[in-house]
Structure 1
Amino acid sequence: MKISTEQFRVKPKDEVDLKKRPTSVPSFYRSKEEYQELLTEQIDRLSSLQGLLYANNSWSILLIFQAMDAAGKDSMIKHVLSGINPQGCEVYSFKHPSPEELDHDFLWRSMRRLPERGRIGIFNRSYYEEVLIVRVHPEILAAENLPDKLAGHKNIWRDRFRSMNDLEAHLTRNGTRIIKFFLHISKEEQRKRFLERIDNPEKNWKFNQDDIEERKRWKQYMNAYEQCLSATSSKDAPWYVVPADDKKNARLIVAQVVVNLLEELKMSYPETSEEKHRELLAIRDELVQ
């Protein structure tokens, strides 16, 4: 079964209102068994396409995941990309910037982690944090040591959106295809998952007081996400707002989007020249003797 994903895509110049975007949609599966069957089918297809991407060695893929706490980014990456050869896939989780990173422009640390040709790069959080958490926490912006007239400029966020759009346009022109996912969780579902992290000793390490403090800024974050999604979803580097209250459903949606992207590239394995073919036949004759 092929899932229709267009409904989740943010079209260029869309004014995103997250209240009107669902955090839950009817399930694409009727049972746990059917979910596993569908996911396995998608993973097998992803594995095959990733092998083709690696052999073709012309394109690279960048997948970006952003979300509120407990939306399921880690489990999404774990489940959807479980069948991909690690040799052709790189995952980076961006934490608080280091002193060295703070002494460079805000895109520098991400640029260093871009995928090579033939590979899939996965950003668990990304340079988009610079217009999300930094926007909600001005003290982080102050720590970046920008010149005063730049840090206090009224158009700083607009300018950062422009830098991101320019970067993604540049990468697209040079063979990197980009897909960005916002895992859209409801505040109530986050509350349930926080309680689970407290009640389950094996998940206690995932939770601390900072998570509650960030939850208190929910409206500020939603406003920041809305402006970010509206300003930076383009034809070639689109955002997908993925309903994430149902983790299984969300995984099926994301997997389908990635499969669609790889199929659109219409890749093929490198052709064997006549000279190479003769060489292989000679080697084969030697091996069968």
Structure 2
Amino acid sequence: MNALTGKVAVVTGATSGIGVDVARAFVAEGAHVVLAGRRRSEGDAVVRELGPAASFVRTDVTDEDDVAELLHVAVQRHGRLDVLVNNAGAASHLGSIEEVDAAAFRATQEVNVMGALYGIKHAVGHLRRLGTGGSIINMASITGDRVVYAGVAYSVSKAALIHLTKWAAAELGAYGIRVNSISPGFITTTRFGKAAGVTEVQARERLDALDTYAREQAASMQAIHRAGTGSDVAGAAVYLAGDASSYVTGQDLAIDGGLSLGQPRDAMVRIRDTMAGIFAG
């Protein structure tokens, strides 16, 4: 507890999903958190839940001026900026590459890549003026390294975000600013529903069913036999935001239950036994 006492953090995409869990964890660890998102009513609801340590600024991360103003307001309110979490993200349809809509592809890059770029660009000045470094955390995905699990626009955007993280870390380390990314795996959020073509409201209504399905599938997909939660990701964000990770930069931390490792041993054993049966006739 209190790993982030005295720190000021900005979290984008903080009105739902992983962003809310990151904001909750930061407040629990003693930080003042400025939440950003496009939906004011939902942002205000999260602030009421979290109390006086939280505030909300309506922000569209695809608008550079909006992002610059968000960071300016955070510093005005609290006198400093220590942590930026670029969490705002857009899913993409799980269709064939032959079906890719160019406008939709560009829109995904605008949110997932350009939004993070604007955040880094406009956070640097505030972090440098403070003179004590700081931490920037980009919310990537294991799909940025694997050609599975997501639509092409989303996957490509997360690959770009991971590389942007490394580029920024190499440059900004001279100022004591650390830049890392987190790559979640199968985390049961509404983003999966939106990728499947349903509305966010519909996705929220079916999250329990998604979690049940994820638990069923996990045994054959990954080493840890359960779906991930926003709290799993939030714990990693607390680590990267705090002083315990002061010598960590340019890294992509997979929070995926071992999904990126490949199939677990028991799944491979089942495949082996099935193949043995085939050869045995």
TM-score scaled by length of structure 1: 0.38
Greater RCO, CA 8 A, separation 6+: 1
TM-score scaled by length of structure 2: 0.39
Which has the higher Rg, Structure 1 or Structure 2? Answer: 1
